[in-house]
Amino acid sequence: MKREETEVLIVGLGPVGAALGVYLGRMGVSAIAIERDKDVYPLPRAAHLDHETMRLLHLAGGAEAVARASQPLSSYEFRNAAGELLMGFKPTGDLAPTGWPWSSMFHQPTLEHALRARLAEMPTVSTRLCHALKTYETAGEGILAEIEGPEGAYEVAARFIVGCDGGNSTVRRKAGIEFDDMGFDEPWLVIDTVLKNGVTRLSTVGLQHCDPARPVTSMPMAPGRHRFEIMLLPGEKPEDVVSDEAIAAMIAPYADASALEVERRAVYRFHALIAKTWRMGPVILAGDAAHQMPPFLGQGLCSGTRDAANLAFKIEAVLRGRAGEALLDSYQVEREPHVRMITEMAVSMGRVVCTQDAEAARQRDAQMLAAPEDKRISPLLSVDGIKSGILESGGAIAPDPGFGTAHEKSRLDDAAGYAALLIVREESEASRAFAGSGGFVARLGALPDASGRLAALIGDRQAVLVRPDRYVFGTGEASTLVAAWNAYLASGVARAETIAAA
Ligand X SMILES: Cc1cc2nc3c(=O)[nH]c(=O)nc-3n(C[C@H](O)[C@H](O)[C@H](O)COP(=O)(O)OP(=O)(O)OC[C@H]3O[C@@H](n4cnc5c(N)ncnc54)[C@H](O)[C@@H]3O)c2cc1C
Residues that bind ligand X (CB under 6 A): 11-17, 34-37, 41, 44-48, 132-133, 164-166, 170, 190, 268, 287-288, 295, 298-302, 304
Contact 117, 64 (CB under 8 A): no
Counting DSSP H helices and E strands in the chain, the numbers are: 15, 23
- The β-bridge relationship of strands 291-292 and 279-280 is unpaired
The residue among 294 and 401 lying less far from ligand X, judged by its C-beta, is 294
The residue among 315 and 489 lying less far from ligand X, judged by its C-beta, is 315
The residue among 34 and 354 lying less far from ligand X, judged by its C-beta, is 34
Burial annotation 273-285 (CB, 10 A radius, 16+ → b, else e): bbbebbbeebbbb
Side chain identity, residue 417:
G
The residue among 167 and 404 lying less far from ligand X, judged by its C-beta, is 167
Radius of gyration of the CA atoms of the chain, in A = 23
Q: How far is the CB of 289 from ligand X (least distance, A)?
A: 6
The residue among 232 and 390 lying less far from ligand X, judged by its C-beta, is 232
Q: How far is the CB of 286 from ligand X (least distance, A)?
A: 7
The residue among 175 and 421 lying less far from ligand X, judged by its C-beta, is 175
Region for 452 from its dihedrals, namely left if φ exceeds 0, alpha if ψ lies in -120 to 50, beta otherwise? left
Angle (CA) 299 133 163, round 5°: 30
Helix, strand, coil tally for the chain in percent (to 5): 35, 30, 35
The neighbouring-strand residues paired with 230 are 189, 216
Q: How far is the CB of 333 from ligand X (least distance, A)?
A: 20
Contact 473, 467 (CB under 8 A): yes
Q: How far is the CB of 300 from ligand X (least distance, A)?
A: 3
Q: How far is the CB of 165 from ligand X (least distance, A)?
A: 4
Contact 468, 457 (CB under 8 A): no
The residue among 171 and 494 lying less far from ligand X, judged by its C-beta, is 171
Q: Dihedral, CA atoms, 5, 9, 14, 16, nearest 10 degrees?
A: -130
**Quick one: DSSP state of residue 322?**
S
Sheet containing strand 440-443, strands side by side: 440-443, 421-424, 463-466, 472-476
CA atoms within 13 Å, Cβ hemisphere of 124: 17
The residue among 49 and 420 lying less far from ligand X, judged by its C-beta, is 49
Q: How far is the CB of 402 from ligand X (least distance, A)?
A: 26
Contact 35, 77 (CB under 8 A): no
The residue among 287 and 399 lying less far from ligand X, judged by its C-beta, is 287
Contact 447, 454 (CB under 8 A): yes
